[in-house]
Amino acid sequence: MSEPIYKRIVLKLSGEALAGDKDFGINPLTIQKICQEIKDVYELGIEIAIVVGGGNIWRGQTGSEMGMERAQADYMGMIATIMNGLALQDSLENAGVPTRVQTSIEMKEVAEQYIRRRAIRHLEKGRVVIFAGGTGNPYFSTDTTAALRAAEIKADVIMMAKNNVDGVYSADPMKDDAAVKYDKLTYLDIINQSLGVMDTTASTLSMDNDIPLLVFKLNEKGNIKRAVLGEAIGTTVKGKTNE
């Protein structure tokens, strides 16, 4: 296919994706590569919103397990996503792609506060919008943020770009050689089989709003563009049926 099958997408990037081959932090060269992939899709005329995680800097759950108060640990994680969002913005704009960062936690000196109508207007004007700060509430993952923002801006699909994994498997393919890759699933499959693609809140929200999910491998050049053009890569997840 040579024409995009989606008009407006939410691209979900994990914080770990920005660390590259490191275990921690932001790798500028890795971000440049990711942003070039995003630029290739942007040049197709696609409206792109990005939700970025913060696991390369801080995970609220890890802090909680170490004895921190959960809400406090989660807020630290939300701030980590804002740092990642600013790094993505800088790299995208250096590549010539107009970008806005919107945060759920007010930080007016560095980013806009999230306003749904303004976000949609930015997309319509050809700007990439990066949603940072999670939902602005503790106890919710950035997967849930992706599902929520996709519903709010009426995105056609959530595209979940994974590191080193080319779809959804019955078990962890890095640990279990017998793991089977799925081409198609439903959100009920994810919930009932505890497949770990998205948390239950995100899966339910996506299912209730009939937003398809595409899970694919990020670190393979051109995959984001292939996904937008409708090539059969990764795993497609839909509502309650595979039809």
Annotated binding site for UMP: 54, 74, 135-142
Annotated binding site: 12-15, 54-55, 59, 74, 135-142, 163, 169, 172
Do residues 8 and 155 make contact, with C-beta atoms less than 8 angstroms apart? Answer: yes
User: Is 80 exceeded by the pLDDT of residue 139?
Assistant: yes
Instruction: Lowest mean pLDDT of 29-33, 104-108, 175-179, 201-205, name the range.
Output: 175-179
The structure tokens 């599902």 sit at 147
The structure tokens 């990711």 sit at 34
Nearest to 77 by CA among 148, 2, 138, 27: 138
How confident is the model at residue 238, as a pLDDT? 92
Instruction: Lowest mean pLDDT of 25-29, 59-63, 153-157, 234-238, name the range.
Output: 59-63
Annotated binding site for ATP: 12-15, 55, 59, 163, 169, 172
* Partners of 128 in the β-ladder: 99
Do residues 78 and 136 make contact, with C-beta atoms less than 8 angstroms apart? Answer: yes
How confident is the model at residue 50, as a pLDDT? 98
Q: Which two tokens stand for residue 182?
A: 């799925």
Full set of structural domains in the chain with CATH: 8-238 (3.40.1160.10)
User: Is 60 exceeded by the pLDDT of residue 64?
Assistant: yes
Higher per-residue confidence, 94 vs 174: 94
Mean pLDDT, the chain, whole residue set: 93
Confidence class for position 242, pLDDT limits 50, 70, 90: low
Q: What pLDDT digit, counting tens, does each position of 145-201 carry?
A: 999 999 999 999 999 998 888 999 998 888 888 899 999 999 999 999 989 889 999
Do residues 41 and 226 make contact, with C-beta atoms less than 8 angstroms apart? Answer: no
Return the SS3 of 159.
Answer: strand
